Structure 1
Amino acid sequence: MDAADADDRLDRAFLALADPVRRRMVARLSRGPATVNELAEPFDITVQAVSKHIRVLESAGLVTRSRDAQRRPVHLDAAALEKLTEWIDRYRLIHERQYRKLDALLARSDTKESSS
């Protein structure tokens, strides 16, 4: 996967997670697979609307569906979420290092002022 594909995948994932209904679905799926009807239960929306939300999550690579007899459970792709976490952590760590440097600089400044 080249950088453009990776960026496109990140964009689709973050856009998918921008919707509160889809975030709640991801939270539910983190506890295990669920059918469309099970995912629809806590929402006051149609099963068709839930199916559309699932398609957005599928397109973003965050969920998959399997066939289990008559059921088509939806599964969370934990590896896809891990990639999002890695991307966020990369920038979080950069900023943490910058804040530690600033804290050290401020601490040295405080020490100099108190010794004057």
Structure 2
Amino acid sequence: MTEAQSGSEEVDGVLAALADPTRRHLLDLLAARGEVTATKLAEELPVSRQAVVKHLAVLDAAGLVTGSRVGREVRYAVRPAALNATARWMAALAADWDRRLAHVKHVAETAERAARE
């Protein structure tokens, strides 16, 4: 597997995980509060603790959160690396479109000048 394929799969996993509004909300809560248990997170959401754990498992599989055991509890925290990789991919995509649009603008302006002459 090439590095580009690996990066693409990472971005795919992040985007799939973030497609769900509950998971986005969980990520926001974790970012705001640091390490938090699934029980504490469930108190702030209209879903059960078991549903929160399932959502956290999806976020974990995408590399967005990590869980660490402290005694009997598992505390979850945001892992920014996957988000950073996705942000870099989005920035590269935006830059590519900017270049394409600048080229279209240049062609249109050249055609307009030629039509006037």
* TM-score above 0.5, yes or no: yes
Q: In the alignment, which of 65, 68, 91 is matched to residue 67 of structure 2?
A: 65
Q: What is the Cα-based RMSD across aligned positions, in Å?
A: 2.2
Q: Structure 1 residues 5, 101: closer, same or farther in 2, change over 3 A? A: closer
What amino acid sits opposite 1:94 in the alignment? D
Q: Percent identity, aligned pairs only?
A: 30
Structure 1: give runs of 5+ residues left out of the alignment: none
TM-score (norm 1): 0.81
- Post-superposition CA distance 1:27-76 (Å, at most 9, x none): 22222222212222232111000000001111111110113344422111
Structure 2: give runs of 5+ residues left out of the alignment: none
Q: How does 1:12-27 map to 2 (within 5 A)?
A: 12-27=13-28
TM-score (norm 2): 0.80
How many angstroms apart in 2 are the aligned matches of 1:30 and 1:104?
Answer: 43
Higher relative contact order (CA 8 A, sep 6+): 2
Residue 99 of structure 1: aligned partner = 101
How many angstroms apart in 1 are the aligned matches of 2:110 and 2:2?
Answer: 44
The size of the alignment, in residue pairs, is 115
